[in-house]
Amino acid sequence: MAKQLVLLTYTPRELSEDEYAKFIREIDYPAFRQNPHIIDYSCWRVADSVQGREEFTHFDLMAVDDLANWEAIVSDPAVAGNVARWTKDWSRHGPDHFCRRYWG
């Protein structure tokens, strides 16, 4: 099966770009890239907009072998631990911010 792409958009809390870049290189990339279902993973920062203002400042682009493996990806201890750490250290909302799906 051909690879499938996942686009994750977000705006982290106010941060030092140098400190955040170090986190991405030393913690984030290794945590995601060790998962066998993730073919490629990269993080990006919007530097300049040519279409107007985006609703996010950062995005991650993840190529996976199959979206059917998503549960295996997010339940991987290294991935889940990294998501928890990112939420605690970098999220504008913190770990107590949850989303609820509309019923139906």
Q: What is the CATH number of the domain that holds 81?
A: 3.30.70.100
Residue with tokens 């099966």: 1
pLDDT of residue 3: 86
Structural domain includes residue 81: yes
Structural domain includes residue 99: no
Structural domain includes residue 26: yes
- Kindly state the DSSP code that residue 101 receives in the 8-state scheme: P
Give the strand pairing for 58-64 and 4-10: antiparallel
Q: Tell me how far the alpha carbon of residue 28 is from its chain's centroid.
A: 8
3-state DSSP assignment of residue 43: strand
Using CA atoms, how far residue 10 sits from 3, 54, 59, in Å, is: 23, 10, 6
Print the domain residue range for 65.
4-48+55-90
pLDDT of residue 98: 56
**Residue 17 main-chain phi, psi, to 5 deg:** -60, -35
Structural domain includes residue 97: no
pLDDT of residue 101: 61
Domain count, the chain: 1
Residues of the chain whose pLDDT is less than 50?
Answer: none
Structural domain includes residue 39: yes
Give the C-alpha separation, 1 to 24, whole Å.
Answer: 29
Using CA atoms, how far residue 75 sits from 55, 65, 84, in Å, is: 28, 16, 12
Structural domain includes residue 104: no
**Predicted structure pTM score:** 0.83
Structural domain includes residue 35: yes
Structural domain includes residue 100: no
